[in-house]
Chains A and B, each alone.
Chain A
């Protein structure tokens, strides 16, 4: 409701501004260059077949030249005791949620950047260091970043991590959808290594279809929801699960794009630069009038 009235307000003020200056045609394109490609890729994560082998964690670290223990050590299942989050040293982690009934299995969930279609980090970044690429990946440009960490404040999935211990050139680290690998036709490292085919790499549109097809084939196996289809305006990574996603610690998010109303407010305040200029003119007028009034009074004295 508050949203609606604000939109109306913005509309009215935009119309007013347009009326004043006669700038009715020629809309200013304020949106970023990141136009969604209809062939953008994605990954469908079927958590019902994941066995929690964590080979994807190892593959990810190896592909990104991060220090890692040997692959055998990843068999250790004691790490599942605590919930873990991706950080600057591991861009993806697998968590385990215990079985609810004796006849069911525990659920393993791989976590990484969701590669939103309308990413909050891209909208928020002060220098535009983040970009949504044609192939669906959201990547970070280390040459631009100033380390303000506003992307971390903005991300609804709490994904970007920062190298807090570094005094010089700290980086923002997050899954880059193996941008360097997919560029040369390779699969993302985690998709390639997964022995259970939990991860399906493909066009996002096809994956959404596949996910719904799977649900309709095995309605008793899947919870009837594809996480990421509509959440925060859609994400490139999509999830299927046997349970309600809130039980698996997925954040409860609406379907409006992640940047929310912040861009609308921002562009409302700066519509064609009319409001600031109008305010300047108004204040100038007031100042001039008051000055004249004062000097008029003084002359009369």
Chain B
């Protein structure tokens, strides 16, 4: 680690074959989004009075929130535990979280029958409602994420404000404003960083409480009063794998050397976290004696076993092996399995486990629903690429010497 690392914009050609494919997926998604807005939820989705919630909530929102957990876990590690060596990865993780939560909010809006009333919870409170708590926390956290992201924008533009045409007159004022903003944020950022971690713990767990009220409609393998704890533990365990995976992909895509040292350091922390999550999950199953449902052969039991074995046990074993932690490929495979496991867990909780008492048809997402979900993911990747090119997010070795080893300011 003798090199001097500094986050810089990575100017590259934006359009590659993969990017063009992603653009097409995003375009199809946008078409279905317009169809939903014009013709209603029923026209695009397979939702019904039996299945009021589908993949827009189960995947886009529930899994989306969980997979954006890299933001608060790295903030806790880098800034609260003050491990400076991990400051390099806080910015990409912050960007992932900011984009992730933005799309979570958009998906919620799209799924609301009356999306234009999305502001109602701000003034119409119901303290008993778990959804109210989740909604408020996510809304406030999104604001916190935007504030945490501001220093990156000020850093990019201070001394470089160059508005076109007659707007050029304002260059100086805007530059001054940015400097004031930057100074203020630098001093107060710790308030927002801690708030971000607290808010994340709150809504990550409450997202689990959300399905408790469904009671017997939910399969006993998943329905448990400790759902909030399981959701929090799984979100914490998926945070670092998400950062690892995203970092390896970014390095590959931009032709950089992967930060194997830092990533394997992160990887070392994953196994204990996964172990805690696994023990609570198994312990809960033993205490509630729900393992009897595993003797039945049906969708629920199969999905549960896949979730545990492929999503927790296997990556736990992989992350315990030092040789796997040292190779970028091994790290990304293990990280992907954790991501897959948590993704599956959220989908299982919200969709597979949900069995209406009066069932006429079973639910499978429509082409419209899948296209919108895929479109949102594609848009997120496209925006990530654009942001990494425009803003100083990814750190690369800098030639020349500087006094400080790590020069990542703010977040």
Contacts and interface: CB of A to CB of B under 8 A. Distances in A.
Interface of A: 1-3, 6, 30-32, 83, 85, 87-88, 120, 122-129, 144-150, 152-154, 156-158, 160-170, 249, 251-253, 258-263, 265-266, 269-270, 276, 279-280, 283-284, 286-287, 290-291, 293-294
Contacts of B206: 266, 269
Contacts of B50: 158
B170 interface: no
B39 A128 contact: no
17 contacts: A120-B213, A122-B128, A124-B130, A127-B132, A146-B117, A150-B210, A153-B213, A153-B217, A153-B354, A259-B213, A265-B225, A269-B206, A276-B198, A280-B198, A283-B197, A283-B198, A287-B194
Interface stretch (B106-114, B251-259, B321-329): B106-114
Contacts of B202: 269, 276
B135 interface: yes
B401 interface: no
Contacts of B9: none
A296 to B, nearest CB: 12
A262 B217 contact: no
A6 B225 contact: yes
B284 A2 contact: yes
A13 to B, nearest CB: 13
A6 B121 contact: no
B49 A265 contact: no
A105 B225 CA distance: 43
A150 B108 CA distance: 12
Nearest to A157: B357
B195 interface: yes
Interface residues of B, number: 71
A26 to B, nearest CB: 17
B112 A147 contact: yes
Contacts of B213: 120, 123-124, 153-154, 258-260, 262
A153 B214 contact: yes
Nearest to A294: B82
Nearest to A151: B52
Contacts of B118: 146
Interface of B: 37-43, 45, 47-50, 52-53, 76, 79-82, 84, 111-115, 117-118, 120-121, 124-133, 135, 190, 193-195, 197-198, 201-202, 205-206, 209-217, 224-226, 228, 284, 287-288, 354, 356-358, 360
B42 A165 contact: yes
A85 B194 contact: no
A32 B114 contact: no
Query: Which 6 A-B pairs give the minimum distances between C-beta atoms?
Result: A147-B113, A164-B42, A290-B82, A152-B52, A128-B126, A149-B52
A262 B130 contact: yes
A265 B120 contact: no
A260 B128 CA distance: 12
Which of B38, B80, B113, B198 has the most A CB atoms < 10 Å from its CB? B113
Nearest to A252: B216
Which of B81, B195, B206, B213 has the most A CB atoms < 10 Å from its CB? B213
A262 B214 CA distance: 9
Given A145-B114, A156-B217, A290-B81, A126 B126 contact: yes
A85 B79 contact: no
Given A123-B128, A127-B132, A283-B197, 7 more contacts: A85-B358, A126-B129, A147-B113, A156-B357, A259-B213, A265-B209, A276-B202
B205 A269 contact: yes
Nearest to A122: B128
Contacts of B209: 262, 265-266, 269
A149 B198 contact: no
A3 B113 contact: no
B52 A153 contact: yes
B120 A144 contact: yes
A234 B249 CA distance: 55
Which of A120, A147, A265 has the most B CB atoms < 10 Å from its CB? A265
Contacts of A149: 52-53, 113
A291 B82 contact: yes
A164 B79 contact: no
Contacts of A263: 128
B52 A170 contact: no
A158 B53 contact: no
Contacts of B135: 126
B130 A266 contact: yes
A258 to B, nearest CB: 7
Contact of A3 (B128, B133, B225): B225
Contacts of A169: 114
A10 B52 CA distance: 31
A166 B216 contact: no
Nearest to A128: B126
B226 A146 contact: no
A147 B202 CA distance: 24
A170 B114 contact: yes
A200 to B, nearest CB: 26
Given A87-B49, A283-B197, A128 B124 contact: yes
A2 B41 contact: no
A286 B225 contact: no
